[in-house]
Amino acid sequence: MSLSIATVPVWSFEDKNVLTMYHGTEPHPVEILPGTIPPYIKLDPFLMGLGIQPGRREEHRLVLDINQRDLTIDLNTHDAYYGRTKAPFSIQERDGALYVQTLHLVKVFSDLLGVQLIYDRPSRSLHVPKIEDVVATIRTHRRGERYQISVIYNQGLRAPKVEKIDRSLLLKIPRSPVIIDKTRMEPNEAITSMEVFTNLPDGSTEILFQMGPGVSSYTVDPFSPNNPRTLIDLRGDFTPESEIETGLPIEKQVGIQRIVIDPGHGGMDRGALGPTGLKEKDVVLDLAKRLKHQLDMLGTYAVKLTRDDDIFLSLKTRTAIANHYKADLFISIHVNAVKQYNAKGSETYYLSMDSDVDPDEFYHYHEFEGATGHEEEEEDPIGDDLTMMLWDMAQAKHLEDSFRLAKYIQEELNKLAGIRSRGVKQAPLKVLKGATMPAILFEAAFISNPLEEKKLKESLFKNQVAEAVARAIQNYDGDVKAKAQRGLLVPVEDPEP
Ligand SMILES: [Zn+2]
């Protein structure tokens, strides 16, 4: 299901005049016209790699058949024509073979195939995501005062477009056919019906959503090929949420519903740094977005990030966001850094109320109370000692649940790393202190370890971490529901391994 677009070639061709094409698993060599920058690559082996027939020449034109659509290349003007589009397509003929400028080729073939081609200059590789059937899963939900349509795609594709036509919203997906999963699509007061048109002449698929009379505006989230989905928010005059019968079974109500994910650091606070310069603040944001995506796919949780951009947030603001959102879980994501370059694996922490704990005992010292510069400067909105103490105690009554959650997460991360023994840890983490819900912090890997830093750059590893944590959350959620159903506590093991 997933794409291999981020694969880094582990070997390269000796010959500098060869580009490696990835389409599926087998690398496929394509000749480069010597001395060209950006490189001009030989057209026929590129087409062969995609399983496309060589084109037919008609005077100064070359016509190719791509997914039953014509691509006409004018060999004199160096333009490509497809549908109503005209795009630059620089081409050179050498010894009877045609060579095409790679960046032009990437643009035109991304449009025609409906997947994003990626040319990686340093490794001289061209990645063409495998073209499988696109499955679009459509869901409609109430989100507070608004309604949301989410369309989740099973693979990366060119950005779909949304436009308003009278009282309808038209979603145009630049692929055909698209398999539509609408089992989770339920008409409501904002979205009253839906129609699908696939295999349109321009190779696209259209979905027309009919809007109810209460809808007054809509917004569409920016599309990212790494997290392929279309999210449309509908606002307007709707029935107050309190008057809507949820219809959810009782056990749904007792489990986890809202989750806040906190990517550590951000803005001026870059966190730890890897040997090649990878910044903690960037990699944890990426991990947080992937985890949110995994959880969104389950369709049962409302998930919010404390930051979805490169901005600075104080530690208190982070828990305040979770408290305000009435989150059922707070998950802070970090990566570890230590002097021993070979330290590896993941670690999960929950709060220790014990002020005697020696922060030096813990690797990620910059997270701990008093150890970070900007925390000292931060104005404390709560002045007197009593409220300060209450703030400090907020997490106290959730410690047992926090431990249980940490344990589920560490278990999954251990499985991922192939480690059995590592247990959860306790530390005086300031970011968890004010949380009024079960709260944990996990360190996904050691960014200071060159091998782990490399893994942190790979989508595969980051997706595995996200999947592991999402699984752990589901396990924990199941545990909470079982506990509520039985009306008794699930036995907890001793925190000390
Ligand atoms: Zn950190």
C-alpha 319 to ligand 1 mean position (Å): 15
C-alpha 163 to ligand 1 mean position (Å): 41
Give DSSP secondary structure letters for 23-71.
Answer: SSSSEEEEEB-TT-SSPEEEHHHHHHHHTPPPPEEETTEEEEEETTEEE
Angle at which helices 399-417 and 459-486 cross, to 10°? 140
Residue 241's SS3 state is: helix
Burial 133-166 (b: 16+ CB within 10 A, else e): ebebbbbbebeeebbbbbbbbbbbbbebebeeee
C-alpha 429 to ligand 1 mean position (Å): 11
C-alpha 272 to ligand 1 mean position (Å): 6
232-276: per-residue pLDDT in tens? Answer: 999 988 877 666 544 444 334 678 999 999 999 998 889 999 999
**pLDDT tops 70 at residue 25:** no
Residue 330's SS3 state is: strand
**pLDDT tops 70 at residue 373:** no
C-alpha 301 to ligand 1 mean position (Å): 26
Among 107-116, 373-382, 475-484, the range scoring the smallest mean pLDDT is: 373-382
Single out the residue of 73, 97, 93, 95 nearest to residue 85, CA to CA: 73
Query: 184 with 139: CB under 8 angstroms?
Result: yes
CATH architecture of 134-243: Sandwich (2.60)
As a whole number, the mean pLDDT across the chain is 81
C-alpha 278 to ligand 1 mean position (Å): 13
* Mean pLDDT on 29-39: 91
Among 9-18, 222-231, 364-373, 471-480, the range scoring the smallest mean pLDDT is: 364-373
- % residues pLDDT > 90 (the chain): 40
Give ranges for CATH 3.40.630.40 in the chain: 250-486
C-alpha 125 to ligand 1 mean position (Å): 33
Neighbours of 104 (CB within 10 A): 19
108-125: per-residue pLDDT in tens? Answer: 998 888 777 888 887 888
C-alpha 149 to ligand 1 mean position (Å): 34
C-alpha 367 to ligand 1 mean position (Å): 6
At 246 the pLDDT is: 46
* Mean pLDDT on 220-239: 86
**pLDDT tops 80 at residue 380:** no
At 383 the pLDDT is: 35
CA distance 385 to 388: 5
C-alpha 470 to ligand 1 mean position (Å): 20
* Mean pLDDT on 66-78: 90
CA distance 338 to 445: 11
C-alpha 273 to ligand 1 mean position (Å): 10
C-alpha 448 to ligand 1 mean position (Å): 12
Give ranges for CATH 2.60.40.3500 in the chain: 134-243
**pLDDT tops 90 at residue 426:** no
C-alpha 424 to ligand 1 mean position (Å): 17
**pLDDT tops 50 at residue 56:** yes
pLDDT-derived band at 354 (thresholds 50, 70, 90) equals low
C-alpha 40 to ligand 1 mean position (Å): 44
At 7 the pLDDT is: 39
C-alpha 464 to ligand 1 mean position (Å): 20
At 392 the pLDDT is: 58
C-alpha 348 to ligand 1 mean position (Å): 12
User: Tokens 């509908």 appear where?
Assistant: 234
Burial 70-92 (b: 16+ CB within 10 A, else e): ebbbbbeeebbbbeeeeeebbbe
At 241 the pLDDT is: 67
At 322 the pLDDT is: 87
Single out the residue of 269, 351, 257 nearest to residue 310, CA to CA: 269
Among 15-19, 124-128, 201-205, the range scoring the smallest mean pLDDT is: 15-19
* Mean pLDDT on 309-331: 87
pLDDT-derived band at 101 (thresholds 50, 70, 90) equals very high
158-206: per-residue pLDDT in tens? Answer: 889 999 988 889 999 988 878 888 777 777 888 888 888 877 878 889 9
**pLDDT tops 70 at residue 444:** yes
CA distance 82 to 62: 12
C-alpha 144 to ligand 1 mean position (Å): 32
C-alpha 447 to ligand 1 mean position (Å): 10
C-alpha 396 to ligand 1 mean position (Å): 23
C-alpha 395 to ligand 1 mean position (Å): 20
C-alpha 280 to ligand 1 mean position (Å): 7
* Mean pLDDT on 121-145: 83
Q: For the structural domain made of 250-486, what CATH number should be given?
A: 3.40.630.40
At 367 the pLDDT is: 43
